[in-house]
Structure 1
Amino acid sequence: MAGNSDPLTPRAKIAVTAGKAVAAASRAAGRGSGSVIGGRVALKLDPDLLARLAQNLDVTLVSATNGKTTTTRLIAEALKAAGPVVSNALGANMPAGITSALAGGSESKFGVIEVDEKYLAGVARDTDPKCIALLNLSRDQLDRAAETRMLAENWREGLAGCKAVIVANCDDPLVVWAASSSPNVVWVAAGQMWKDDAWSCPSCGGVMQRPGDDWFCGECGFRRPTPSWVLSGDHVLDPHGSAWPIHLQLPGRANKANAASSAAVAAVFGVPPQVALERMYQVQAVAGRYDVVQFQGRDLRLLLAKNPAGWLETFSLIDPPPAPVILSVNARGADGTDTSWLWDVDYTRLTGHPIFVLGDRKLDLAVRLEVANQHFQVCDSLDQAVQMCPPGRIEVIANYTAFQDLRRRVGN
């Protein structure tokens, strides 16, 4: 726990120093933040480094298909009310990136760490977390991500008997299945807009019944647990039934859900909901997401959507028609190379919006929009798309590497 003497062995100190030097060299060469390569070098020199760096921290892990970077940021802001926080705020969420982030926080009391879904069990073993937040599970990166039920099973096995308090979304059956092997779970009713990955029971394979906001398996009795925290409109209800207003600069229902889960996590560390939620208001954008930027004399709002569930949530928060919309999709390594997920997205929700299409896979997207009966134009560049857009703030929705390309182009 925090306050112990220096946990780092001479070998660990050398590993940290070498990692920082490599990261600095990578930044100087213009190859990004350097956090991943720095972490890899450090872990090569001391394979136990992540565990050593975490042992003086009260650690929270955050994992999900969507919303983990934003929720990590909201929890970090809330916990700053109780002491200094170290976090992998830029989203480098595999062991190397996490190690790099923690190496920079020697004076911190709390570690708030976003973890890629596939690495959650291993990082939990290394960091001995006090709290783990599980938000949602849905299809993502079809060419290499495990099928969602397998991922839920991996979480369930990896977290069985875990001493951490698990803060879990009771509206996602896959998350409930994953969390219910743990002895200490705080259930949050955070909602679930995308339900297409949770029609069969993760426990027995039976068909899920979904009356209203409830769900249960008609065959084995696996059912939605009773939540102690509830997202209700613009408020979060705490376990005592008190309603606390959620005031965010981040848009949309999904971010209110992230705030509700974050308030539940903050309470585990003794930060009251009112204090936690007030601090979350400071967050305006997360790694460029939700930023409104000026480009060619126009206002562009940058929105990240990496998979069907993310696109569905994003469509719910864009300006109403006839606001122009630019869509950009790539299929590089970090995105997953299989774009068949485009067929799972309901693009009829964009009816009435002028649509402009970019990215490495713009023709895949064009075929999908054609079938959805949407009016769109294929463009060669962001500059061309912006010039063609009718008046109004432009909503720009992109998947992962396409989003990074756009940020570089607009100088964000």
Structure 2
Amino acid sequence: MPSAVRFGVNYTPSEGWFHHWLDFDLDSVRADLDSIAALGLDHVRVFPLWPYFQPNRTLIRGRAVDQLVQLVDAAAERGLDVNVDGLQGHLSSFDFLPAWTRTWHRRNLFTDPDVLDGQAAYLRTLAAALADRPNFLGMTLGNEVNQFSAGPHPDPDRATEEEIDRWLTRMLAACEEGAPGRLHLHAEYDATWYQDDQPFTPAQAARHGAVTAVHSWVFNGTAQRHGRTSVPTEHHAAYLVELSKAWAADPRRPVWLQEVGAPAPLVAPEHAAAFTEATVANALDCPDLWGITWWCSHDVSRELADFPGLEYGLGLLTNDRKPKDAARVLARAASEPVPAPTPRTTALVVPADPAVRSACAPGGPVFDAFFRLTADGARPTTVLDTRADDRDHLAARGITEIVTPDQVLPAPHGLQGGTRS
């Protein structure tokens, strides 16, 4: 029996990276998709670059939209479903924002009425163009757009939590208008879960859209603090999956591990396969996991300049479409049946107040307590402090034991015995 968990990859074109939209070559795309399909994966996440598709607020390029449809159709021919990110946004350290939102036309991405009209029209147009394609999964609003809303971005578009809530509601509605009934969602980088002043909150991540998306990168301090083979590093993706469940209104809400990868030098190339195997196995031990989508499909060509060093080698496949050892690990996981994991009955209490969510970040007491429990074999999940006495909520999630960080950690708190060689 095939696994109910979806296995896929974030598609990074082998020729021209995401700039391939400027010189779209369907034959090259088909060859890339052949190399992905050969791994036995079932879906790709694709990234039309926003300024290339909507260079003017009232101009959405028809040819670009047609090329996106051609890509989705080519994926269908190879048995691949497709999720489409809309507002790119930000990819691999580069910002891609249309000129009508920057410099002389500087307008807030999340609050300006004209910008919101343009964004909604763009998302609706992409979704509508794909609405009749059976292999179109749905839209993601954009890639980690929360990075535009606060530091450390050098020029953030500030917004309040309430303004972000309205933005998410409107943009997801635009996707639904374009393609009713598809899997529409939004996705942020882990500052949503870890950074106290982020206006994108954990509650929004866990309650807006069809599924919760988490992006797991261990260069956030996890691997630096604990090392490549530590419990926190190898279980970081699983931690984010389980952390997200504390805020979900639906006790069985699916969680999509939408980005996860093996970043050098913290995970050296010769260790990428082992890291992949451990990360995937631990994520699969999380109930209600929708899928795992690895970052990324193909390496970035060394002919392209100015990327951070780690970005060049994140591909499961080389720039000439040859699979690496990590690709074989993911292919094997995709081909094997995955038993449904048993419920996680021990829940660690986390603060509901987003102003203190740094307690969940690397070095925080929630983070450290979760991995001490994990190292002891407890298979923890999480619950909000405001729900820790809600018997109905706990029963719906199968939780039978509640612990707080101070009950888990020694004083002063620290992660002891939480790593392995």
Normalising by structure 2, report the TM-score: 0.28
Pick 1 or 2: higher relative contact order, CA cutoff 8 A, min separation 6. Answer: 2
Normalising by structure 1, report the TM-score: 0.29
Question: Which protein has the bigger helix share?
Answer: 2
